[in-house]
Amino acid sequence: MLNLTVKNKVVVITGASSGIGEATAKLLAKNGAQVMLGARREERLQKITQEIIDDGGQAAYRTVDVRDLGQVQNLVEDAIQKFGHLDVIFNNAGIMPNSPLSELKVQEWYDTIDINLKGVLNGIAAVLPTFTSQKSGQVIATSSVAGLKSFTDGAIYGATKWGVRDLMEVLHMESAQEGTNIRTATIYPSATKSELLDHISDQRVHADMVKHYNEAELTSEDVAKVVQFAIDQPEDVNISELTVYPTGEK
């Protein structure tokens, strides 16, 4: 049976070419949502979109670099033109090139901030005019357990995820004050099977993270189900935060 709340909702997803974004797009489309996929890798987007369509779902895509507000705005506009309206944006794009601060991988710091934090800001900026005008909509963002507690070697990644946490909470508070009925949900996954580890250039940190992930790891599909759960709530119910761990994680 189709999920009646998710069915027919139009959802924009960034970071949709792999991992949590890909899994969420496929799950939501399977349950009747209309999904607009955004990421930088067009070949991957084409493949995933076609897989969704072949499975009976409704999907489209646009290449996007979330660091560029104009590109994110075009992604949102394409979703509205293609499907007629907009209900949800899932700001999911992110990277995790962890390293000790003393290594001074400054360009990696800036890239992480631009994608993980500025990218979420651009997603919010792209949908706020529509959501404010229609007095409805939902903004979901992928933070991390690193947005709830601190980890060595992850200062910049954690800073962006703490920033997302505050940003999303204030968005909810201001929407309530302004009466625009915008729902928000911040997802805090623990270690999740994805391409995040591929961004770590520090060999020692990479080895440590691989070991940690091998000990306790969520699947992208696990997190996708949590995203769907947040969308599936009644319009007058807002679940602000959802923390996701493997049951056996210590």
Q: Supply 44's token pair.
A: 């991957």
Judge contact between 14 and 123, C-beta under 8 A: yes
User: Is residue 232 in a domain?
Assistant: yes
Reply yes or no on whether the pLDDT at 29 is more than 90. Answer: yes
Which of 55-69, 195-209, 227-241 bottoms out in mean pLDDT, i.e. has the lowest?
A: 195-209
pTM for the structure as a whole? 0.93
Let me know if 61 is exposed, middle or buried by CB neighbors in 10 A (0-12, 13-18, 19+): buried
Q: How many domains does the chain have?
A: 1
Please identify which residue in the block is written with the tokens 């911040």.
186
Is residue 157 annotated as part of the catalytic site, yes or no?
yes
Cα–Cα dist 80/178, whole Å: 24
Q: Over the stretch 40-50, which tens digit does the pLDDT of each residue have?
A: 999 999 999 99
Q: What is the CATH number of the domain that holds 105?
A: 3.40.50.720
Residue 20 pLDDT level (bands cut at 50, 70, 90) = very high
How many angstroms separate the Cα of 169 from the Cα of each of 9, 17, 98?
Answer: 23, 27, 25
Residue 13: exposure state from Cβ atoms within 10 A (0-12, 13-18, ≥19): buried
Within-domain flag for 97 = yes
| 168-179 per-position pLDDT tens digit | 999 999 999 999
Bridge-based pairing state of the strands 58-63 and 34-39: parallel
Q: What is the pLDDT of residue 1?
A: 43
Domain assignment of residue 21, given as a range: 10-244
For residue 3, being part of any structural domain is answered with no
The answer to the question of residue 4 being in a domain is no
For residue 3, the model assigns a pLDDT of: 45
Summarize pLDDT for 81-118 with one digit per residue, the tens: 999 999 999 999 999 899 999 999 999 999 999 999 99
Of 110, 157, 188, 245, which is the active-site residue? 157
pLDDT over 90 at 190, yes or no? no
In tens, the pLDDT along 204-219 reads 977 877 777 777 778 9
At 143-153, the pLDDT tens digits run: 999 899 999 98
**Residue 106 forms part of a structural domain:** yes
- CA dihedral sign, ordered 200, 104, 106, 157: positive
